[in-house]
Each structure stands twice: as C-alpha cells, then as structure tokens.
Structure 1
Amino acid sequence: MSQATTDLLKVLAVTLLVFAASTLVMLYGILLLAQYGANLPMVGSLPLSAPPELIPILAGSGVFGTLAAVHVTGSGIALLLTSATIDQALLITAKAVAVVIVALLGFAVGHMVYLQLTENTALNLNPLMPALIALAGFFVLSTFLAVPALRQLGNLRFAIGVGMIVLGPLLLVWL
C-alpha cells in the first residue's frame, strides 16, 4: 500500500470520527439547551428510527453515481492527453468527494449513536449502503484507478483511456 493510500485512509478515518463525534456533541448540546429553556428547535423533531433523510436522499439520487461516471470519462480523456494539471485535478476531486461522503456518513453515524443512547432505537445501516458503495468507488478512483497510477502503464494507457471513455456513459446508465 502506497503512502498516498495510507494517508487517504487516515484522513477518511479521522473525518468519520470527527463528524460522528461532532454530531453527537451538537445533538446533546441542542438537547441540553432545549431542556433548559433555550429557544431552539426540539431534538424530538429529528427522525427517530433512521439517519437524517439527507444522506439516503443524496446517495440514492444518483449524484455520486453521476460524478463517478463523469470522473471515469474524464480520466479516460486525461489518459489520452498529457497534462499533469488534469491528472492532479482528477486525483484531488476523487479524494475530495470521498472525504465529503465520509463526512456525511460520520454525521449519520453520530446521529444513529445519539438515537441509540437517548431513544434506544436500533442501528440501521441499510439506508447508508448507496453512500458506502459510492465511497468505495471514489476510493478506487483516487487510488488504484487514479490517472497518475494508470499513466505508469505506458502505451497501454491509451487503450485503457478509450475503455474508460466508453465505460463512463455505461456507468451513468448502470448507476
């Protein structure tokens, strides 16, 4: 495993923990303020048996699938060209989207832990499955299928580039 992959895994783990802990602290802060007379929305208005609806809606809406399909097509075009700037832009984008997905998952995990501790609701990860799949896809796009890694294959990169250009629209239909 390369140092860049290890660093990305560290960033993803820390992001998940920070967002889960921050969500837990925030929700308990709102609960305490609401109980002691602060004029804030009640925590009871949050869904009790599922993570906030935003995460499954985002993951299920096709936003991450569309970004992945466009990223695969862009990677194919980048492999046909020679541009360190495009390579770096695609690599940063894949890593950034992975971090955003992990932040959303951290928020959902923090919320579910809060509900488990306060309402004793069961943990249900099924609504988060599309986000977990998207995370796996963007992790692969930022490590093994990153343009700089594929560029090391020499002239085979041209065939892979054409294949990725064809695969992008197929992913859009499939995802």
Structure 2
Amino acid sequence: MPDLSGKVKQNVQMKYFKFLIAISFISLLFSCGGDNDICESGEGTPRMRVSFKTQATDKERTLDSLYVAVDYGSGKVQLGGQAKITSRVIPLRVDNSTYTDVYFRITNKGSESKVRINYTTKSAYVSPGCGIKLTYENLNSVLDPNTTTPVKEIQAGQNFIENEDKTNLFLLF
C-alpha cells in the first residue's frame, strides 16, 4: 500500500500557498491609494503670475522672449526662457523667508532687472499626497532702481496668491 502522507502534506502546502497568494493580491488592491496620493489638481502651493504691458500705452502685450531667474536663498536658479508669451507663472520661495528675488531678461545674455517680491505666507494641510500648501498674502513688489533695464516699471496686480488664475504683477517694458 502506497504512503499517502506525502501527497496529503503536498496538498496542504498547496492550499496554504494559494491562500497566501490570494491574501497578497487582496492586500495589494486595498493598499492602492485614492486621489490623495497625487497632487495634480492644483491643490499644491500656487505660483505667482506675471503679465506684461507697454509703458507708453499701459496696454497688455506679448513679449518675443523672456528669461527668468529666481534666487531661492542659495543663489540664482535659471528657470529658462519662453518665446511669444503674454504671462508667466513663477514659483516663489517656500521656506520661512518673507521675500523672493526674481530676475527678468528679454535676451539670453542681456541685461536683467531685479524685482523683490515681499509677502507673508499662510500654510494649510491639503492631503497626504500634497502635504502642506502655502498661500501668499500682502504681496508688495519693488523694482531695484539700479536695474531698470529692460523692465522700466512695475504695477501691482492681485495682492495675494491662492491659485494661478489672476495676475499678481505687471512688468512694463
């Protein structure tokens, strides 16, 4: 008579293996997060919108090119250039600083204008994926008087940043 204990043992091991696979699959399904895992719906810290005007007519204009650099506290970071633009969004500092220095050029190697954006920040928890969102209030921009080329003057727009829809600063060329 053949020994059946080996086959019984093998069947029991196979049942445990199938059970382990099923539990792993179910755990994988439930561990996948929902919409809070990715911060894509504009819930993150908003950027500042800058638009452009002609100084003589005070009418909005399209720039042939604009190059932007920002000092985030450890030196200038080049954000690159864009062509044929009517506005640009620029991320501000997210540390405890009360200002961000932004540099504007209309040619790649040309002279630049420095604008200091002063503000106060307020933080709010958004979600596990987005973390904390900063909003900027009491925006006050100052054009450095030593760098009035190419930007001739600035005009204030909306003085708080909650989203990226409204223009916060107008640069006059």
Q: TM-score, normalised by structure 1?
A: 0.23
Bigger relative CO (Cα 8 Å, ≥ 6 apart): 1
TM-score, length-scaled by structure 2 = 0.24
Structure number with greater Rg is 2
